[in-house]
Amino acid sequence: MLYCPKCFGNHLKLAPRGVVHISINNKHMQSSQFLFNTVKDDEKVIANNIREKFDEFMNWYSSFQNKDPIKDVQLSSSDFVCENGCKVSISSRYNIINILISQEIVMKILNEVAYSYNIRVEVDPSKNF
Ligand SMILES: [Zn+2]
């Protein structure tokens, strides 16, 4: 559970359905988001969605003149609910790594997709997640 800024306790949990937003090196494509539904999607479906979005991003990013190595990856969502019923602001986004999907899988997909576009990955998982 995450910290709720309204009731000041660790009462925020991910909603069963929502949208995940992806940003890489603080860049965000309009299409870098996907829907999740934990009622029907297993981790494999979520992993496939992430792979597809990473692929779209790397395809775009690989056309840049100056390609910095990938240092920062954010997967976040506003679709959290507070157990105490607080209204969660839609402008607040919370990290979903290790909540919706494990960091290990996200890093594995990131490394594989970046490698296929010849883009270096220098994410420090201890700082990034
Ligand atoms: Zn709350």
Domain residue ranges in the chain: 2-128
Where residue 124 falls among pLDDT bands split at 50, 70, 90?
Answer: confident
Q: Between vectors from CA 81 to CA 77 and to CA 84, what angle results, nearest 5°?
A: 150
> Strand 73-77 to strand 94-95: parallel, antiparallel, or no bridges (unpaired)?
antiparallel
The pLDDT value recorded for residue 66 is: 86
Local confidence band at 89 (pLDDT 50, 70, 90 cut-offs): confident
Q: How far is the CA of 75 from the centre of ligand 1 (A)?
A: 22
- Give the C-alpha separation, 49 to 75, whole Å: 12
Tokens linked to 40:
């029907």
Q: Residue 110 Cα, ligand 1 centroid: separation in angstroms?
A: 33
Residue 102 has pLDDT above 80, yes or no: yes
Q: Tell how far the Cα of 20 is from the centroid of ligand 1, in angstroms.
A: 21
Residues contacting residue 21 through CB under 8 Å, at least 6 positions apart? 28, 32, 33, 74, 75, 76, 77, 93
pLDDT, residue 129, reads 62
Its sign, for the CA torsion 42, 98, 95, 83, is: positive
In percent, the amount of the chain with pLDDT more than 90 equals 84
Q: Distance, CA 16 to ligand 1 centroid (Å)? A: 17
Query: In this predicted structure, what is the pLDDT of residue 81?
Result: 95
In whole angstroms, give the CA distance from residue 26 to residue 52: 19
Question: How far, in Å, from the CA of 73 to the mean position of ligand 1?
Answer: 27
